[in-house]
Chains A and B, each alone.
Chain A
């Protein structure tokens, strides 16, 4: 029997109590890992494409619903340090049911895939996309999810954009699929041909939602962004240029201060767990005062006895944290794909796991100090 074995045996002196405590700790850490992962997805701007370090996004300064004139593209392209410019827009729209949410962007097919060169698309399908007015390409995973095949017609009900004939029934021909290399975050945006969208829509012709700019020197990003914004400062359409990563983060933050909400929920969970398990541990220790005296009699020092008791608290929290983290990985595998459509990346990362283990140690220490503080122990 090792000291660890001794601590383990002591934990199971009342198996029901220990299992209940373990389950409560497990649930706390399951929530911790999942909520931290959600929070991380929001703080990182979601996973709608891997933000390129050499890409800037030029958006309307005051509101994302303000349009920008497409003519601005030439002006932006002329700014020193800009290598390429393309544009996109927010289409909105509903595919069959509002629950089937996925972003849909009207884009310039070839410039878009030149801008996002990390994405993989069959050259013939890209050509078809460029040459088909009603063409669209979907992420391969999205096509698989909805059972789409190249050649299918994809009906989208326009909730923002109506057509010139007043109809809101848009129909696109799926001409291809695209994906990211396996080591990158997979795309989640349904792309349609801007030329057709611009021509067919009822209002807004000649405008775009935002421009994406590739720059030559990432060290000059702030300078180039300022130069672009300076072009439009006194125009009807002032702009705000930021990096792609920052834009994605700000987009997700429109939902609210997710970090604060998640932290609040987690604080409430752990405070409750502390009260419940602290009380349980106090009971367990009170029952064992005579046994602790026996340990001291046979030669365990005060420090050794304290280490055993502390070890039990840490062991219970560590096991709960490990099981909770493992359960979170299982839960993420089940709910992750659904969540990724709404918030982008939903992957439990190493930092979150390390945080969980750190919190488990902290929880063990705090629980023990609660017990220490109890009188008449």
Chain B
């Protein structure tokens, strides 16, 4: 069953008097539990497509349906609520809040839920346990290595138990060894916890961990390299 369905998706940005077409009619379907890598040169539209699937932006044309819900018809407020419940985001530069400990960074998305304080703490601790950082819960991001920070970011992405994880160059700032650890963790989340993962990457080695690889160029899907 397709958890993500894009049909004829176009995205055009206006820059001054020029309009720049970034996506030129993308159609794709991603099955629940899939681990998909999106590859392509810079400017090919990978991150833009990821943002549309993650509900961060609206398409200029076409439809994006995720989990049976059409994102194009949602207001910004509805999208925010939908993202909080359905999508986990993992970024290249971790984007943790430096003033909060690892535990509190992970707890952050749960502030949007009705969970009690104790339950939020318990869930955050469980998420840190899954990513292997339970012993660093009280450390602030500045006291953690890049790989550890990315693990905290992954814990934050999964703490609300979303079905879909969108990852934008999750290993782009890490050395090979650490990158492999992160990718194995993503594989575990995909294989053992059933998360659907869409990962944008430039790195062919990273893409090897995905079950399916799609290539993009000039706003179009050019080949299925699975």
Contact = CB atoms under 8 A, between A and B. Distances in A.
A214 B80 CA distance: 72
Contacts of B54: 297
A298 B99 contact: no
B89 A298 contact: yes
A284 B144 CA distance: 24
Contacts of A299: 80-81, 83-85, 109, 112
Contacts of B89: 297-298
Contacts of A294: 91, 95, 97
Contacts of B81: 299, 301
B77 A302 contact: yes
Contact of B95 (A5, A10, A290): A290
A5 to B, nearest CB: 8
A291 B98 CA distance: 9
B44 to A, nearest CB: 22
A290 to B, nearest CB: 7
A3 interface: yes
A298 B156 contact: yes
A13 B141 CA distance: 13
A1 B95 CA distance: 19
B76 A301 contact: yes
B95 A9 contact: no
A147 interface: no
B120 interface: yes
Contacts of B95: 290-291, 294
A35 to B, nearest CB: 36
How many B residues are at the interface, by size bracket? 20 to 34
B56 interface: yes
B99 A13 contact: yes
Nearest to B94: A294
A296 interface: yes
A72 B203 CA distance: 107
A6 interface: yes
B58 interface: no
Interface string B190-207: 000000000000000000
B84 A298 contact: yes
Contacts of B83: 297-299
B117 interface: yes
Contact of B120 (A1, A290, A295): A1
- A contacts with B: majority SS: helix
B98 A13 contact: yes
B104 A9 contact: yes
A5 B108 CA distance: 11
Interface string B83-119: 1110001010001011110011001110110000100
A19 interface: no
A63 interface: no
Contacts of A297: 54, 56, 83, 89
| Residue among A10, A295, A297, A303 with the highest chain B CB neighbour number at 10 A | A297
Contacts of A290: 95
Interface string A1-27: 111011001101100000000000000
Contact of B76 (A6, A10, A302): A302
B109 to A, nearest CB: 5
A95 interface: no
A231 interface: no
Contacts of A9: 99-100, 104
A306 interface: no
A12 B99 contact: yes
A300 interface: yes
A9 B81 CA distance: 24
A5, A6, A295, A298: most-surrounded residue (chain B CB, <10 A): A298
A141 interface: no
A354 interface: no
A6 B80 contact: no
A6 B98 contact: no
Contact of A6 (B91, B100, B156): B100
Contacts of B56: 297
A1 B99 contact: no
A3 B99 contact: no
Given A13-B99, A297-B56, A299-B83, A6 B108 contact: yes
Contacts of A6: 100, 104, 108, 111
A304 interface: yes
Given A13-B98, A296-B80, A304 B120 contact: no
Interface of B: 54, 56, 76-77, 80-81, 83-85, 89, 91, 95, 97-100, 103-104, 107-109, 111-112, 117, 120-121, 156
12 contacts: A2-B111, A2-B117, A6-B100, A6-B108, A6-B111, A9-B99, A10-B99, A297-B89, A298-B89, A298-B109, A300-B112, A304-B80
Given A13-B99, A294-B91, 8 more contacts: A1-B104, A1-B108, A3-B111, A297-B89, A298-B156, A299-B85, A300-B80, A301-B80
6 smallest beta-carbon distances between A and B, as pairs: A299-B84, A301-B80, A294-B95, A13-B99, A299-B83, A1-B104
